[in-house]
């Protein structure tokens, strides 16, 4: 029922919608002190670490597990991304793991018993030149061969799907077409982490915040445990799921990994009425935009050009994103920037993840997701859990082994797809 004053100020609709969100219980997961020993320890309390712990407990019956987070749960990249979910990657290896992840997304709320506002509103990837069209159509046909839903849209069909987009032929980067994955979409990133944390905790997993790993106990090239700011913890197996800080953890364990840590910035507007009902990505103009459930516009692009562990970047990157968004959506000139943020992403040489064994026995690693990790949260945890439980990779993550940078069996998704988000 509406009130007598139905003339709403900008953002009121978003606030009213926000008021309908489910109420959170006072505590979603148990806060505990670390035990002296666990069967397995997961280093990193973001989405990938929490999903790994959950699937270790659910799929493999390992419940004597601890998730160690140096800060607060999901305080890293999980809560600092633009929540895009899709699986329409070019190479078979990438398509396999991302499609598996998308299928898990489609039943995840029921599986975890927790709302996370997964919305399959579709993902539109624009083509702005003849070569861009060729590349995107190649991607479209590859998706078809892999059984992944994909459509090719003309500029007129793009305009019909997104009425506010500018498809004029006179702009700097005119829209020549687009691929469209209807099953793609978005989810509330922090709620995803909370859902996994709650479900894992309910299965007996210990979630420990404020426990930074400062070293490893390794004997005869076999990991025996971890050293943390809350004391030493013995562990039969250890999984490193630290995103942009994975190279620091690897160095502590005595080996190196080929990743660069860079800030990935994004921004949101104040709450607006709904004007964009799908996700729009553009690699040429270089911006990707969606509108969240409450009404704020969410925008992102590429990483900063420098390596850093600071969760902030150069403002010129934000300016570039805004300029690109205005080229595609002139109506956005009336919006404002509410806040910006940055996460430390782990970029590998071929823009593909590293999941599997390390030179240290019983020490496993999951990193290198770069700018595209959020969408892989369920699938990443699923295959990492399988790898840790069995000591051998799952068929979906076997191609993403660390030694591919020695053998040359690279999965160059960045060079192939042009954008890895």
Q: pLDDT tens digit string along 214-233?
A: 999 999 999 999 999 999 99
The residues that bridge with 66 in the sheet, in sequence order, are 41, 206
Q: Please check whether residues 255 and 271 belong to one and the same domain.
A: no
> How far is residue 108's CA from residue 382's CA, in Å, rounded to a whole number?
12
Tokens 């861009």 found at: 132
Of the pLDDT bands very low, low, confident and very high (cuts 50, 70, 90), residue 418 is: very low
Same domain, 58 and 125: no
Same domain, 208 and 274: no
- Domain-ending residue, one of 281, 316, 343: 343
- The CATH number of the domain where 413 resides is what? 3.50.50.60
Structure tokens at 231: 């004391």
User: pLDDT of 334-349, one tens digit each?
Assistant: 999 999 999 999 999 9
Q: What is the pLDDT of residue 18?
A: 46
Q: Establish if 96 belongs to a structural domain.
A: no
Enclosing domain of residue 201: 36-83+190-260+349-417
Q: Are strands 84-85 and 185-186 parallel, antiparallel or unpaired?
A: antiparallel
Q: Is residue 77 part of a domain?
A: yes
**What pLDDT does residue 311 have?**
85
CATH number for the domain spanning 271: value is 3.30.9.10
Same domain, 50 and 67: yes
Domains: count for the chain = 2
Using alpha carbons only, give the angle 325, 12, 17 rounded to the nearest 5 degrees.
90
Residue 161 located in a structural domain = yes
- Given 319, 343, 367, the domain boundary residue is 343
- State the CB neighbour count (10 A cutoff) for residue 293: 16
Verify that 320 and 331 share a domain, yes or no. Answer: yes
pLDDT, tens digit (0-9, with 9 covering 90-100), for 352-362: 999 999 999 99
In a domain, 153, yes or no: yes
Looking at 307, 325, 343, the residue that finishes a domain is: 343
Residue 208: name the closest of 379, 361, 53 by CA: 53
Choose between 265 and 414: higher pLDDT. Answer: 265
pLDDT for res 23: 73
Helices (H) and strands (E) in the chain, counts: 11, 18
In a domain, 311, yes or no: yes
248 and 393 together in one domain: yes
Closest of 117, 109, 145, 139 to residue 127, by C-alpha? 139
Provide the pairing of β-strand 213-219 with 222-228.
antiparallel
């Amino acid at each position: 029922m509406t009130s007598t004053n139905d003339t709403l100020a900008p953002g009121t609709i978003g606030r009213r919608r926000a008021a309908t969100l489910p109420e959170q219980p006072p505590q979603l997961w148990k806060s505990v002190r670390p035990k002296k020993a666990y069967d397995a320890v997961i280093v990193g309390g973001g989405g990938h670490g929490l999903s790994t712990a959950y699937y270790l407990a659910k799929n493999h019956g390992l419940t004597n597990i601890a998730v160690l987070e140096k800060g607060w749960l999901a305080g890293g990249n999980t809560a600092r991304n633009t929540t895009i979910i899709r699986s329409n990657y070019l190479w078979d290896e990438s398509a396999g793991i991302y499609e598996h992840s998308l299928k898990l997304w489609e039943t995840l709320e029921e599986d975890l018993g927790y709302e996370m506002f997964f919305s399959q509103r579709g993902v539109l990837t624009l083509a702005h030149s003849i070569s861009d069209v060729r590349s995107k159509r190649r991607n479209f046909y590859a998706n078809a061969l892999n059984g992944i839903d994909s459509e090719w849209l003309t500029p007129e069909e793009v305009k019909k799907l997104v009425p506010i987009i500018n498809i004029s032929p006179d702009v700097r980067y005119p829209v020549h077409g687009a691929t469209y994955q209807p099953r793609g979409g978005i989810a509330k990133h922090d709620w995803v982490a909370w859902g996994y944390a709650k479900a894992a905790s309910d299965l007996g997993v210990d979630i420990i915040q404020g426990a930074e790993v400062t070293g490893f106990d390794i004997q005869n090239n076999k990991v025996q445990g971890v050293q943390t700011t809350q004391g030493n913890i013995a562990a039969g197996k250890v999984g490193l799921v630290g995103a942009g800080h994975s190279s620091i953890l690897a160095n502590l364990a005595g080996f190196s990994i080929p990743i660069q840590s860079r800030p990935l910035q994004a921004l949101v507007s104040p709450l607006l009425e709904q004007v964009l009902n799908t996700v729009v990505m553009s690699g040429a103009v270089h911006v990707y935009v969606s509108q969240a459930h409450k009404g704020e516009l969410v925008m992102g692009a590429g990483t900063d050009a420098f390596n850093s562990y600071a969760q902030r970047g150069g403002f010129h990157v934000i300016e570039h994103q805004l300029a690109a968004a205005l080229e595609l959506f002139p109506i956005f000139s009336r919006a404002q920037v509410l806040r910006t943020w940055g996460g430390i992403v782990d970029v590998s040489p071929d823009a593909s993840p590293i999941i599997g064994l390390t030179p240290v026995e019983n020490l496993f690693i999951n990193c290198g997701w770069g700018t595209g990790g959020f969408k892989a949260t369920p699938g990443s945890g699923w295959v990492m859990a399988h790898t840790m439980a069995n000591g051998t990779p799952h068929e979906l993550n076997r191609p993403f082994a660390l030694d591919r940078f020695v053998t040359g069996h690279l999965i160059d998704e960045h060079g192939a797809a042009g954008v890895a988000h």
